[in-house]
């Protein structure tokens, strides 16, 4: 009977010993992968909401342009280098291109 109690107690320690590394792996994934990705998405959303006419942008398709007009339906009109105007979704904006456009022109 005493042996059975000792085996059961040892089994519980073993289960805890197996769960702790799994919990640590989840915590590491959260701090090194999930949290930075969530922060980047939040910053991108804030940037897209702050866009205004005259801002120089880069789209996710690699098109550089300047915002000409913001529409209420979530689209924007951008002008590219030769004056061509393109209608795109706000969500297609990748990043600010002010410094990049100033270097190429």
Instruction: Kindly report the length of the chain.
Output: 105
The verdict on 61 and 93 lying in the same domain is yes
The verdict on 71 and 88 lying in the same domain is yes
The verdict on 9 and 42 lying in the same domain is yes
Query: Which CATH number is 88's domain given?
Result: 2.30.30.140
From residue 29, alpha-carbon distances to 23, 35, 49, 57 in Å are 10, 9, 29, 32
pLDDT in tens, 49-72: 899 999 999 999 999 999 999 999
The verdict on 68 and 30 lying in the same domain is no
Q: What is the pLDDT of residue 12?
A: 52
Give percent of the chain with pLDDT exceeding 90: 55
Average pLDDT, stretch 4-29? 73
Question: Does residue 5 surpass a pLDDT of 60?
Answer: no
Provide the whole-model pTM. 0.63
* Domains identified in the chain, total number: 2
What is the rounded average pLDDT for all residues in the chain?
84
The verdict on 1 and 43 lying in the same domain is yes
Domain assignment of residue 34, given as a range: 1-50
């Amino acid at each position: 009977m005493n042996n059975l109690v000792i085996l059961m107690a040892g089994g519980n320690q073993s289960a805890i010993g197996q769960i702790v590394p799994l919990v640590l792996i989840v915590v590491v994934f959260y701090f090194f992968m999930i949290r930075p990705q969530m922060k980047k998405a939040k910053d991108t959303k804030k940037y897209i909401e702050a866009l205004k006419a005259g801002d120089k942008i880069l789209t996710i398709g690699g098109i550089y342009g300047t915002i000409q007009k913001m529409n209420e339906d979530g689209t924007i009109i951008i002008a590219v280098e030769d004056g061509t105007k393109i209608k795109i979704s706000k969500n297609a904006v990748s990043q600010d291109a002010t410094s990049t456009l100033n270097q190429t022109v």
